[in-house]
Structure 1
Amino acid sequence: MATGSKRKTPPGILLLRRIRGRNWSPKTFRYAILLITFIAYACYHASRKPSSIVKSVLHPEPTTKPPPPPPPREHINTYPWPLGNVFVKEEDTDADHVNKGWEPFNGKGGTSRLGEIDVAFLACYSLGMYVAGHLGDTLDLRLFLTWGMIGSGFFVGLFGMGYFWDVHAFWFFLVMQMAAGLFQATGWPSVVAVVGNWFGKRKRGLIMGIWNAHTSVGNICGSLIAAGVLEYGWGWSFIAPGFVMSLGGVLVYLFLAAYPEDVGFPDINSNSGKFIKRKGNIEEDEEVAGESSGSEPGYENKTGVGLLQACMIPGVIPFALCLFFSKLVAYTFLYWLPFYLSQTPIGGEYMSVKTAGNLSTLFDVGGIVGGILAGYISDKFKARATTAATFMYAAIPAMLVYHFYGGVSQTVNILLMMVAGLFVNGPYALITTAVSADLGTHKSLQGDSRALATVTAIIDGTGSAGAALGPLLTGFLSTLGWQAVFYMLVVGALCAGLLLTRLVIAEIREKLGYVDEVLASEPLLDERR
């Protein structure tokens, strides 16, 4: 948004202000911002899960679990939606689809096509991230996020409509995923920028580690929703999360105050992480520290930062490349774990598609713990790179043990899956939240420009390229056996850790009292006035 241009206060906040008779305190606004952005990005991730849940329905492997013959009855899709009875429970869903699947994914190259669908989504997501990051620093984040969520929900729902319209053209599903990927790119740079606008750097790792649980919560909710409605037809596994996503966009439009200035407070990042008391009907907060000379509420007083300038901040490129391999590992689990569980004997038995989808959520439960733990440790020791690298190295034995011993019993599988989720998602959560926010609000920016959304987009956009590559390679490598897939994940985790070696050494030297001419954590952007 251009300097000096006016933004509007969210209509929901205006209504609450009229009812209440006064504004909220800064602390209350912070809680509201954390809650709304948490819900918003949980919706983003929930809408990404259906494709992993329905993989075993679209491309079954009948040799692993021979089904009983289905009872004869008229197929539910005799008449296309909305003419037919669409929300009718299909009692023989598993039996019917295990035999037939869904063209064009049920052929010999079905897993490869499923991998191509995933990579189409993630490639568009990755490319869109760079554009979305720059737009997020120049447009109203509230409106940008709103339209991104509504558009994403629309195209996710359209993918599911292919079931009711009896669509079997591969290009239809490909285009829907590509469009959804572009709209999904609006999410992460926006929510990180909003949280960075309201929170200083003190305990940012812990706060954002807890807040970043939205990723795993979204995955869990998306898995449960998609698996819960799967018995009514796999199309509902996309339509239901898409509808929830659109509702989240309405919530953002009504209540998200993306900038403190929009509701009467100055820019927190120009005041050492503390709000400044303003005259008027705003409640005082214990973090208030003097009189304001800040900007008027609702006005934008920050200029955007270009991609090249943001890349010049030391730490951006190493962390971006680390995230490339970290997300390669994490998103392979995100998209293929339910399929892996349904096609692998656990305790000598194969589980149903729905059970596999529900069980896979425990990987994200471990991820929640990992994100919080990584944030706390990095805050306590002030060592973001060392924490991230340590977690990535620990993920290697965790994944290997899970692969070789996860089939012993369901209990062992659950425990090992949660441990793997802890180490895989920990550094992924840390880099995409606290690290991105630190680099995007660094003191070298001199308070007159911001790079929050831009830096976030560079780091997460590069990481999303890895997220696209992982599921694509898995689609091909799974035909050679799952052992090949896990070896790929081990190589990815090792590369992620090694890429942070220089930053780890710099952090250790700093702890030991050595001061380099230029610390790895200090950006080198020229000071601008």
Structure 2
Amino acid sequence: MTDTSIQPSAPPRIRRAQQIALALLMVSGVVNYLDRGTLAVANASIRADLGLSLGQMGVLLSAFSWSYALCQLPVGALVDRIGPRWLLGFGLVVWSLAQASGGLAASFGWFVIARIALGIGEAPQFPSAARVVSNWFPLRARGTPTGIFNSASPLGTALAPLLLSILVVSFSWRWAFIVTGAAGLIVAIVWFALYRDPLRAQLSTQEVQYLDAGKEDVAAPSKVTFAEWRSLFSHGTTWGMLIGFFGSVYLNWVYLTWLPGYLTAERHMSLMHTGIAASIPFFCGFIGALTAGWFSDLITRKSSSAVVSRRNAVVIAMLGMVVFTIPGALAQSNTVALACISVVIFLANAASASSWALATAAAPPSRVASLGAIQNFGGFIGGALAPVVTGFIAQKWSFVPALLFAAAVAFVGAMAYLVLVKKPIPEQEAGVAHAPLPA
């Protein structure tokens, strides 16, 4: 194994591939979250135009999360088998067409189908990104690029109300869907034109040595089989990541889906102030993802175990989320509450970036996308439940117990990471026959 404190510089061809990959992942990620957020931004206009009830709008808001979560399991294995170039490229086309079709929706049923298709199309984004990072970056340098591609989610969320509201007000809510759908198709064309999955046979000895730095098993991964994918569930590490990410995403999605409504209903902010106030925490989340990636790499290079160091970064961030949610819920001052919420979302995105970096360290080389997708499946089951449970608790009591309950869920998730995620899942236990990386 290489010195854990020294990271060799990337050969020129690898560095160029890394820069192209990260730029494309960042752009596609921002478009991904702009598409997700269009429905929330245009909520009132859509309800008025299509005559939808609040209950129907709730179904629309949750339709995406359920299809997205359920597709994580097969998509992760497909990314490992086929490669991120084809899966993410195909996903971009599907989700962009689904997004544009939402702008053409003439009925509630059509809109539900469009949102389900959006969830299916967007499912490959993060498993593909995790596999791209594991393909093009050595083990102990994956935190920073993981933080970069994760930072697209809070950045897209923060930009959505600022950019999409202009389209909704100036034209109509339909154009907000059509324009973002067209943007996704342009990104898909650029992705197919510029990105390539690596082939070991075409890499020089220096390039292979750079990519293999820090690995105990440097044999090339094979295309994953169903038996090998299923074997991941026999490890405590997998269950710790699944349960842990459920807690992390649950608390994050309470704010993601309910923050404007919480600030208006519970904090009695005006609609104008709410729009500005709701963007501030997500810009903090953007900084959190970038900071976490850098910090995760720093402590990993000084640690004997990449898994333990990246897991500890997740646990620390999640415990911070719990600690700051409590005064955020109980504080009388809106300024104090918003400051605490900003810290929570900063840490939530730090935890997310560290969780995806953990997937690249804990997974066997052949199943990085598979393990990341399983973790993401757990997270988005939490994401699908969070707005529903929060709404029920807030309706029956108030947002305070809803936020405290979310903090408790996040605490349980942090303990799952701490107790169950202890070591990487070895490649050889699955009996993988080594072959070249997917083309």
TM-score by length of structure 1 reads: 0.69
Say if 2:311 and 2:354, in contact at 8 Å, map to a contact too. no
Change (3 A) 1:132 1:267: farther
Match of 1:136 in 2: 79
1:269 shift after superposition: 10
1:314 shift after superposition: 4.4
1:183 shift after superposition: 1.0
Change (3 A) 1:394 1:101: farther
Bigger drift between 215-224 and 190-199 goes to 215-224
Structure 1 gaps of 5+ residues are 1-22, 60-99, 276-293, 296-300, 443-449, 505-519
The count of aligned residue pairs is 405
Change (3 A) 1:142 1:210: closer
Say if 2:363 and 2:424, in contact at 8 Å, map to a contact too. no
Say if 1:441 and 1:452, in contact at 8 Å, map to a contact too. yes
1:101 shift after superposition: 7.3
C-alpha distance in 2, partners of 1:350/1:483? 20
Question: Structure 1, residues 298-317: CA drift from partner, whole Å, max 9, x if none?
Answer: xxx73214321233454222
Give the one of 73, 82, 90 matched to 1:147. Answer: 90
C-alpha distance in 2, partners of 1:474/1:116? 15
Question: Structure 1, residues 379-418: CA drift from partner, whole Å, max 9, x if none?
Answer: 3444222221222122123223223337535xx4553332
Instruction: Give the partner amino acid of 2:380.
Output: S
Instruction: Indicate the percent of aligned positions where both proteins have the same amino acid.
Output: 19
Instruction: Give the partner amino acid of 1:493.
Output: A
Say if 1:403 and 1:486, in contact at 8 Å, map to a contact too. yes
Change (3 A) 1:486 1:255: same
C-alpha distance in 1, partners of 2:65/2:206? 34
Instruction: Give SS of 1:48's match.
Output: helix
Match of 1:225 in 2: 163
Alignment pair present for 1:117 and 2:60: yes
Match of 2:177 in 1: 238
Alignment pair present for 1:329 and 2:268: no
Say if 1:307 and 1:458, in contact at 8 Å, map to a contact too. no
1:451 shift after superposition: 0.7
Q: Write the mapping of 1:145-294 to structure 2, written as runs, cut at 5 A.
A: 145-162=88-105, 167=106, 169-231=107-169, 232-261=171-200, 264-265=202-203, 271=209, 273=211
Say if 2:329 and 2:404, in contact at 8 Å, map to a contact too. no
TM-score by length of structure 2 reads: 0.82
Structure 2 gaps of 5+ residues are 1-10, 214-218, 301-308, 434-439
Bigger drift between 240-249 and 178-187 goes to 240-249
1:501 shift after superposition: 3.2
1:323 shift after superposition: 0.4
C-alpha distance in 2, partners of 1:399/1:207? 28
Match of 2:224 in 1: 304
Alignment pair present for 1:387 and 2:313: yes
C-alpha distance in 2, partners of 1:268/1:495? 44
C-alpha distance in 1, partners of 2:394/2:60? 16
- Which has the higher relative contact order, 1 or 2, with Cα contacts under 8 A spaced 6 or more apart? 2
Say if 2:133 and 2:142, in contact at 8 Å, map to a contact too. no
Instruction: Give the partner amino acid of 2:321.
Output: A
Change (3 A) 1:502 1:344: closer
Question: Structure 1, residues 194-252: CA drift from partner, whole Å, max 9, x if none?
Answer: 12100011232233223421222222233322222221322233233222222211111
Match of 1:424 in 2: 348
Larger Rg: 1
Match of 1:53 in 2: 41
Instruction: Give the partner amino acid of 2:330.
Output: F
C-alpha distance in 2, partners of 1:236/1:491? 40
Match of 1:498 in 2: 415
Match of 2:429 in 1: 526
**Which one has a larger percent helix, Structure 1 or Structure 2?**
2
C-alpha distance in 1, partners of 2:14/2:121? 31
Say if 2:30 and 2:152, in contact at 8 Å, map to a contact too. yes
Alignment pair present for 1:38 and 2:35: no
Say if 2:91 and 2:125, in contact at 8 Å, map to a contact too. yes
Give the one of 4, 17, 25 matched to 2:13. Answer: 25
C-alpha distance in 2, partners of 1:404/1:102? 38
Question: Structure 1, residues 489-510: CA drift from partner, whole Å, max 9, x if none?
Answer: 2222122112123157xxxxxx
1:487 shift after superposition: 2.6
Question: Structure 1, residues 14-61: CA drift from partner, whole Å, max 9, x if none?
Answer: xxxxxxxxx9722122111111122122221221111222335556xx
C-alpha distance in 1, partners of 2:297/2:93? 35
C-alpha distance in 1, partners of 2:239/2:61? 25
Instruction: Give SS of 1:499's match.
Output: helix
C-alpha distance in 2, partners of 1:145/1:233? 30
Instruction: Give SS of 2:15's match.
Output: helix
C-alpha distance in 2, partners of 1:42/1:32? 16
Question: Structure 1, residues 118-139: CA drift from partner, whole Å, max 9, x if none?
Answer: 3221111111111111111222
Instruction: Give the partner amino acid of 1:53.
Output: V
Say if 2:22 and 2:145, in contact at 8 Å, map to a contact too. no
C-alpha distance in 2, partners of 1:467/1:268? 43
C-alpha distance in 2, partners of 1:102/1:414? 34
C-alpha distance in 1, partners of 2:205/2:400? 51
